[in-house]
Structure 1
């Protein structure tokens, strides 16, 4: 598995990034339609947690097979990998016990061959992405870079397999919970998810994109969360404009939508 995936600049089209989906792929469809996403030249990046809780988690495999779609591993994908870490054939009782919570029961309806296809796809997900843009390199991961750590040190520790740093990259909440504004040195910007916020937030050079989209779907009043969909190349403070019943925020510069 490539732990840190480095991706060249897109000189043909536009790049976008989306917050935690958790199976809300119909909202992603609407966001892509709203910006006239062109799969031939545009690219879409994800901060992970593609599955669980939402109604369309099984659609993840179709997105992961698309050449325009790039995702890092979230802690929810990692939970499935933990189940299958020792064997591709754990007992059904073990599988059901470990997928009984966190919205993971969609897994119960999948036959074994499909489960293994999902596991193989999750194993291919990098922990971190570094994307070149016209404004400089952008970092993407699920949760957080440890406080006080610069980007070069962080990626070197990820690549070396440092488990403490890997767990912070997948599950850490220190920056989000403290409202840290110091940012991460050595990188133009960093995009993360994992900790749901009421709205997308920029803290230093770190952009927090998890705005609880799946909770908006689960709330009949559509007041529990939104999907954040942003232009990756935007060099300004992101400007929001809601579409589709206030469940999606599109953040792009003029001319990108």
Structure 2
């Protein structure tokens, strides 16, 4: 496993996109890629993590990891899945945070876990518009981009916790504070914290626009094109029938999970 994935795409002949948190909304990704004119023969998509949990098609989102045009970094929900094997407490933490979809899915199969364990904590991409950093949640405030990558590779716990869980920068952006400039990189793209739309804040792009929250009028799946130029793409997911039905069945699924666990 590479802790940080370094890829030079500056001469890539196709387009490169980065999508926000999918949370099982693979059908919304299909619509989004179609609207952008995505070509799987030459274009690439990176995910900012949180492929799974809370939405209707988590297993299909994991299947994307086997597609040659698809890459992903690790999100906190992938980490919850990996940690769920440790004991009942960590398993329950995953379940109540959306892991109830895995009741009849072989989530602990070595092949499945292997694909998730291989997800890097960050991606460092060189594109036609410069150096682009991908991290799931946030960049440690004491670090520039090269320092962050070094700290991740060294396994520093606080930095890794920030990378997967922090909402610090997103909350500052939501409050209208001045944009953050992270040195050593052209743009940093993050997900994790749901906003009512995707936007740039300093040299950070916040891309989780709440695709799975179908009862929110602003719900959308957002994606930023980063090569050969920068362009934002988005499709609304408000009143998405698959997501709405999935949420309506959540309590029944949780009851079934707990009953099977206690049997």
TM surpasses 0.5: yes
Say which is worse superposed, 2-11 or 206-215, in terms of deviation: 2-11
The question of 1:141 aligning with 2:135 is answered yes
What is the aligned counterpart of 1:104 among 99, 107, 128? 99
In the other structure, the counterpart of 1:7 is 7
CA RMSD of aligned residues (A): 2.3
In the other structure, the counterpart of 2:69 is 68
Residues 179-232 of structure 1, C-alpha deviations (whole Å, 9 max, x = no match): 25122100011100000000112111100000000002xx2xx62511002212
Tell me the TM-score normalised to structure 2 length: 0.82
Structure-2 separation of matches of 1:105 and 1:200: 28
| Equivalent residue runs for 1:74-89 within 5 Å | 74-84=75-85, 86=86
What is the aligned counterpart of 2:192 among 191, 194, 200? 194
1:226 and 1:246 in contact (8 A); partners too: no
Residue 200 to residue 241, structure 1, CA distance change in 2 (3 Å): closer
2:222 and 2:235 in contact (8 A); partners too: no
Alignment: residue pair count:
235
Q: Which has the higher helix share?
A: 2
2:198 and 2:222 in contact (8 A); partners too: yes
| Equivalent residue runs for 1:1-257 within 5 Å | 1-9=1-9, 11-84=12-85, 86=86, 97-111=92-106, 115-179=109-173, 181-216=179-214, 219=215, 223=217, 225-233=219-227, 238=231
2:25 and 2:58 in contact (8 A); partners too: yes
Ranges in structure 2 where 5+ consecutive residues have no aligned partner: 241-263
Residue 171 to residue 98, structure 1, CA distance change in 2 (3 Å): closer
2:44 and 2:70 in contact (8 A); partners too: yes
2:125 and 2:133 in contact (8 A); partners too: yes
Tell me the TM-score normalised to structure 1 length: 0.84
CA shift, 1:121, in A, is: 1.1
Ranges in structure 1 where 5+ consecutive residues have no aligned partner: 248-257
